[in-house]
Structure 1
């Protein structure tokens, strides 16, 4: 476990430095960071909507291990996600192959409203949305599935469980990419 914590800290430092370098090189505003990253890669994207930066680093780490051929794009709020998704109608960007949506953004109501908005848009209704949350509450699960979430994953407490949960997402990946 100690080795993982050291690797995660090194990874965080590397990602932070990359962000700083990109911001300095391109004079980017932080709100356009995800869009600039997306423009630089022709890889399929996995959209991650997560308001906790520590959880984002862990999710990014897991995605880099499980989906090396994908480029994760991080948005930290429902407002950012709506603006980002609305930009698809104005551009030639490829749709994300999967969306990982934190339920509590910071409230369940905000996450559920965003989920409902995504699934109501005909452009995105076929994109798998996997709701992720620390909550194991049955009502949260039911609410997510009632709004057409494709799956509900309780955020694991340890590295091994994170690996196991993310390996299960390969089914959505294969259906979207193939």
Structure 2
């Protein structure tokens, strides 16, 4: 996996530079997200390395409707280098660069049950205070947590779930 990220990194930086110069971070995020999702589809992934697939057809397959000329050229460069399969990694690295540039932390809150809007806002405010950046929250439900929540904000993971507490208690008692 690290080799894939190493290969994808310069392409993500190039995409970020073009998006920054054009002032179109969101449009590039959408286009890269679409292309990455399409390239990750097993049927498309099996088709991309086929030498009978024309480069223009591969680009047309992966470019969303209304994609900018610069994005289409970007896909063409990827096709020339046989790197279209790297689109999921490129999109992920691009989003990391965009978040860093916009001073944004993306946090995922996984809870045992749906959290009320008030609690989500309180968590968002606490994370904003902790990181000194704007926070974008994504939520998910995992009933196996029993209760509480796990907050994953990149390199920081806060496990306040009952399942996590029980696991820590079990480890402490075993020692």
TM-score interval (norm. to shorter): under 0.3
What TM-score, normalized by structure 1, do the two folds share? 0.27
- Structure number with greater Rg is 2
Give 1 or 2: higher helix fraction.
2
